[in-house]
Structure 1
Amino acid sequence: MTLATLDLAADVKTILGDLGVKPERYTGGTLAVRSPVTGAEIGRLPEDTAESAAKAIDAAHQAFLEWRLVPAPKRGELIRLLGEELRAAKTALGRLVSIEVGKITSEGLGEVQEMIDICDFAVGLSRQLYGLTIATERADHRMMETWHPLGAIGIISAFNFPVAVWSWNAALAIVCGNSTVWKPSEKTPLTALATQAIFEKALTRYIAEGNSAPKNLSTLLIGGRDVGEVLVDHEKVPLVSATGSTAMGRTVGPRLAQRFARSLLELGGNNAAIVAPTADLDLTLRGVAFSAMGTAGQRCTTLRRLFVHDSVYDTLVPRLAKAYQSVTVGSPLEAGNLVGPLIDKAAFDKMKASLEAAKSAGGKVTGGERIEQDGAPDAYYVRPAIVEMPEQTGPVKEETFAPILYVMKYSDFDEVLRLHNDVPQGLSSSIFTNDMREAEIFVSDRGSDCGIANVNIGPSGAEIGGAFGGEKETGGGRESGSDAWRAYMRRQTNTMNYGRTLPLAQGVKFDVI
């Protein structure tokens, strides 16, 4: 089937209909949605106003007031049912991700699997929201910490992971006793509608099994920046978890700080890898190629900078260039294609500008050209680009959300660590080496300054279990696993006096009448 014969709007209608989303939710509105697969319009959604967004947040706050009274293991039961519903809808939701974002089929399904995995994690977590017993200096007293939910949690997600990011936040927030208000990217609202419908199916089952749950526990806002601003500024939203560009983070962070609300920011990741003299080059080639080209370079964990030791440079880089030229670029819905489209023309224009800037700085560019697709003049498919740079300068220090890999030589390990860390962004990182000392240094306190540091595996991707993120420019917001649940709760210290006296400051006395 060619792109010209694809009727993606019909596919979308079937998928959303099967999930229970009513047609009026994605037709006849003002927000046009186009699939990067063909460039064709696949939906037109009604948008929230500032007033309707504020009302939705107020309703979510009321839901929080009820939900916080439900015991945490009971809250975990809802997320267990959500995991079951996601398993049942995995194929449909995964395809919708591919249609709306342009991910190849395996990546679309993989994103839904991440949602399932975080549900499994959160179910166990619902019985492990532990606090400490603290040693106290006072006789006949016990001191302890307890953890309480925050309120209505705001979630702002980016286009490149349209459903997984919501689940990382929502699964934890809900078992912690919060409600959620989700503002998805205006480029990917259809997958959000589908996800909300799946959540509502789980909620219906939860109530049918005799459990109590409020309406508006998970709320969806559709719209652009103005709707996001309502979420960021609303006094009843104590935490906003936002994923997107660093420019977005620089706007969201200060606005939240003005009202002393919390921010959890996952932003840019100009991620790098070091290829040492002892690296297994076959393993390295696969790790670098997947990390740099996957999702057409539109991951926050995409490999964008590659430092190769001068002793292996002339062996590895030509092999890597050959892999770049041979990779199959085309419709993500067809088996065998490994690289799908960029999200839109704006992304393509930024890629072109970055490659021109790299050439001006002395870079040698291989690839990067647009690949025209019959019947899809408004789709933007590109050949991934390798740019051999004389040094880390110009566009190398900026993040372009496209498949551009800047490659540089190095000779000294201490110097390459300095160069690795010498960019403002830093989400994930990796080193390919069989030298134990280099590997240990890389993950030590004088090694990578990123939130994720890998050895002999590329920087892209993160498993549920380890907290994702820690982007250095923001001080490190962390989502998903480990102890990330604490971000969605507030700590309280409790002192219990089981004696018959009250300790006072030395020398203080008074009579009790």
Structure 2
Amino acid sequence: MIHTRAQSILLDLGIHTEPKGLAVGNRWVAGHGPTFSAHSPIDGVELASLTVASPDQVSQATSAAREAFVSWRVVPAPVRGELVRRIGDRLRHHKSDLAELVSWETGKITQESLGEVQEMIDVCDFAVGLSRQLYGRTIASERPLHRLTEQWHPLGPVGVISAFNFPVAVWAWNTMIALVCGDPVVWKPSEKGTLCAIACHSIAAGVAAEMPEAHQGLLSLVIGDAETGKAIADSPDLPLVSATGSVPMGRDVAVRVARRLGRSLLELGGNNGMIVAPSADLELATRSILFAAVGTCGQRCTSLRRLYVHDSIADPMAEQLKKLYARLPIGDPTTDGTLVGPLIDERAILAMQDALAAAREQGGTIFGGDQITNQVPAGGFYVRPAIVEIAADAPIVQQETFAPILYLMRYSDLDDAIAMHNGVPQGLASAILTNDVREAELFCSPAGSDCGIANVNIGTSGAEIGGAFGGEKETGGGRESGSDSWKAYMRRATNTVNYSPELPLAQGIQFDLD
């Protein structure tokens, strides 16, 4: 059963088949698992009630993907790119409908939902170009009349486990790149992004259905819980599993995939930091901080959590941020002018309150952070973003709370600030606000930020798809989207071709019978 408005959006998207627990291509199969209910964080209304797939049903999707791989891997990459181009065109046509569904199911404001759908479209464009650029290389051989080269071949079916906060973009980052690389995809979305997943899968599978029958297992969707995700991680049919989510989830996936000697691509914790230097443009800084800290109600993996401000400007910066926080329009994310929507669920509110209580016990001074019940939709999960002035060595600063909490700390020496910035377990996104080129270059150098993303004079969030996205330490080390991230979805083959009448051995080894 699906909520009337959500059903209307799905119909507008051309989805007339009643969704069930498992889809292989555009063929739906009833789930064998428990009944699952999805609710909107906007007002708590039930959006869908579905019987989800059980872990033992995962093999239906992975087997179909394995069969599709046999034919898909030999399709020329530019032809594979044509499929992705057509998916991108269909996403363009349905951009506003998809964005509305993202807002309804995850609580994102309309502008951010539109931006997330645009990410899918952008990565389709990127992948289409990539389909003609899966380059190998030629290497100088030490042997005469020999050619030494590298080729990149399709790896095999890819499992994608995505999180609620980017319910469609993360799937597209992986899927569009995987498709042009020659790999089918089995997708297990977050339970909190089920309808978004149904919509995106149905659009893409509808395009793929126009391909020959042998390719019908290219795209599968498995709606399930954590046990279903474990079955994907355990599946020997999936040589690569890309997982986005919490650090505990990533550790479990990594162990399961490593146990069978597969590959895992992990995007996990953030706890992102920013340094504001004395030379920074303070207006630019406050604008950067505001979006990075409160955008998506602090539920981006790249959300700004830790702010290190130089002593000389800390007081005015704190006061300016508090004024801006006090003016934030908080409420229904589908209403024009709203900048902060709800947290995803009640558990997120409780985690935020626990973190603020710990910060208070550790000497923090808190501005904001209270739950809002007035002038917001009843049944939703709304909070006022918090600023916590606290010492940099407070234990709570080491933890990432997926909520709009900004820890504001002070520094006097840049080297100390960088050390404090790097002194957490996570390593995803980072930034420095400065007009001093030496400070900027130091921050981006090997002696600077230890994160996968290091920005200058912009915030920590809002990455473009052209660059490789990912981080180090507890963030997991994975890289998705742009640059050469495509190599994770392929296998490398080194070829030596002897076109001489002789057989010289490498390293000058002599091995001849008398």
The structure-2 alpha-carbon separation of the partners of 1:382 and 1:474, relative to structure 1 and needing over 3 Å to count, comes to closer
Shift of 1:450: 0.2
State the Cα distance separating 1:508 from its structure 2 match.
2.5
Cα distance change, pair 404–475 in 1 and its aligned pair in 2 (3 A): closer
Letter in 1 for 2:467: G
Q: In 1, Cα distance between the equivalents of 2:250 and 2:135?
A: 31
Note if contact 1:21-1:194 (Cα within 8 Å) is conserved in structure 2. yes
Report the secondary structure of 1:336's partner residue. coil
Deviations 1:177-218 (A, max 9, x none): 00000000011111000001110232245x3xxx77610101
* Corresponding residue number in structure 1 for 2:460: 459
* Among 497, 505, 512, the residue aligned to 1:509: 512
Whether 1:56 and 2:57 are equivalent positions in the alignment is: no
Alignment map for 1:15-26 (pairs within 5 Å): 15-22=9-16, 24-25=18-19
1:121 aligns with 2:126: yes
Give 1:9 deviation, angstroms: 2.5
CA apart distance, 1:69: 1.1
Give the superposition deviation at 1:452: 0.3
Residue number in structure 1 paired with 2:25:
none
2:500 counterpart SS class = coil
Match of 1:346 in 2: 347
TM-score (ref. length: structure 1): 0.95
C-alpha separation between the residues in 1 aligned to 2:299 and 2:320?
A: 23
Alignment length (residue pairs):
500
* 1:392 alignment partner in structure 2: 393
C-alpha contact (below 8 Å) 2:250/2:476 kept by paired residues: no
Asked if the contact 1:182/1:220 (under 8 Å) is kept, the reply is yes
AA paired with 2:440? A
Q: Deviations over 1:65-90 (max 9, x none)?
A: 11001000000000000110000010
Closer, same or farther: CA 317–474 of 1 in aligned 2, 3 Å = closer
> Which piece of structure 1 moves more, 396-405 or 466-475?
466-475
Contact kept, 8 Å, 1:85 with 1:201, in 2: the verdict is no
Distance 1:382 1:261 in 2: 41
- 1:14 partnered with 2:19: no
**Deviation for aligned residue 1:507:** 3.9
SS at match of 1:287: helix
- Offset of 1:469 from its aligned partner? 1.0
Q: State the match for 1:445 in structure 2.
A: 446
1:390 deviation in Å? 2.4
Q: In the aligned structure 1, how far is the partner of 2:509 from the partner of 2:474?
A: 47
Change (3 A) 1:270 1:375: closer
Cα 1:69–1:212, aligned 2, differ >3 Å: closer, same or farther? farther
Mapped partners of 1:449, 1:372: distance in 2: 40
Q: Would you say the 8 A contact 1:426–1:473 is kept in 2?
A: yes
CA RMSD in angstroms, aligned pairs only: 1.6
Alpha-carbon deviation of 1:375? 8.1
Name the amino acid aligned to 1:120. D
Amino acid at match of 2:127: A
Equivalent in the alignment of 1:100: 105
Q: CA deviation at 1:23?
A: 5.8
Residue 123 of structure 1: CA displacement?
Answer: 0.2
Equivalent-residue separation in structure 1 for 2:194 and 2:509 (angstroms): 63
Q: Residue 209 of structure 2 contacts residue 216 of structure 2 at CA under 8 Å; is this kept in 1? A: no
How is 1:14-163 mapped onto 2 (pairs within 5 angstroms)? Answer: 14-22=8-16, 24-25=18-19, 30-163=35-168
- Indicate how the Cα distance of structure 1 residues 26 and 49 shifts in structure 2: closer, same or farther if over 3 A, else same: closer
Provide the C-alpha distance between the structure 2 equivalents of 1:431 and 1:473, rounded to a whole number of angstroms: 21
The amino acid of 2:7's aligned partner reads: K
Give the conservation status (yes or no) of the 8 Å contact 1:17–1:23.
no
Please say if residues 342 and 380 of structure 1, whose CA atoms lie closer than 8 Å, have aligned partners that are also in contact: yes
Q: Is the 8 A contact 1:47 1:222 kept in 2?
A: yes
| Shift in Å, 1:393 | 1.5
- Correspondence for 2:314: 313
Shift of 1:26: 6.1
Which structure 1 segments of 5+ residues have no match? 1-7
- Counterpart of 1:4? none
Deviations 1:98-138 (A, max 9, x none): 00000000001100000000000000000000001011000
Matched position secondary structure for 2:159: strand
The match for 2:184 is: 179
Which whole-Å CA distance do the structure 1 matches of 2:339 and 2:92 have between them? 25
Conserved in 2, the CA contact under 8 Å of 1:25 and 1:46? no
CA distance in 2, matches of 1:221, 1:447: 42
AA at the equivalent of 2:512: K
Higher mean displacement: 403-412 or 391-400:
391-400
For the 8 Å contact 2:41–2:344, the answer to whether it is kept is yes
- Whether the 8 Å contact between 2:187 and 2:220 is mirrored in structure 1 is yes
CA gap 1:99/1:509 in 2 versus in 1, 3 angstroms:
same
Amino acid in structure 1 at the alignment position of 2:102: V
State the match for 2:239 in structure 1: 238
Identity percentage over the alignment?
A: 56
Identify which range, 362-371 or 47-56, moves more after superposition. Answer: 47-56
Q: Tell me whether 1:278 sits opposite 2:279 in the alignment.
A: yes
Matches within 5 A, 1:361-380: 361-373=362-374, 376-380=377-381
Q: Offset at 1:148?
A: 0.8
In structure 2, relative to structure 1, the CA distance for the partners of 1:268 and 1:375 (3 Å cut) is closer
Cα displacement (A) at 1:474: 5.0
Displacement of 1:416: 0.5
Contact kept in structure 1, 2:158 and 2:183, CA below 8 Å = yes
Name the aligned partner's letter for residue 24 of structure 1: E
Structure 2 CA distance for aligned equivalents of residues 103 and 467 of structure 1: 24
Which residue identity does 1:110 align to in structure 2? G
Asked if residue 219 in structure 1 is aligned to residue 220 in structure 2, the reply is yes
TM-score (norm 2): 0.95
Equivalent position SS for 1:25: coil
2: distance between equivalents of 1:339 and 1:215?
41
Give the SS at the match of 1:92.
helix
Match of 1:382 in 2: 383
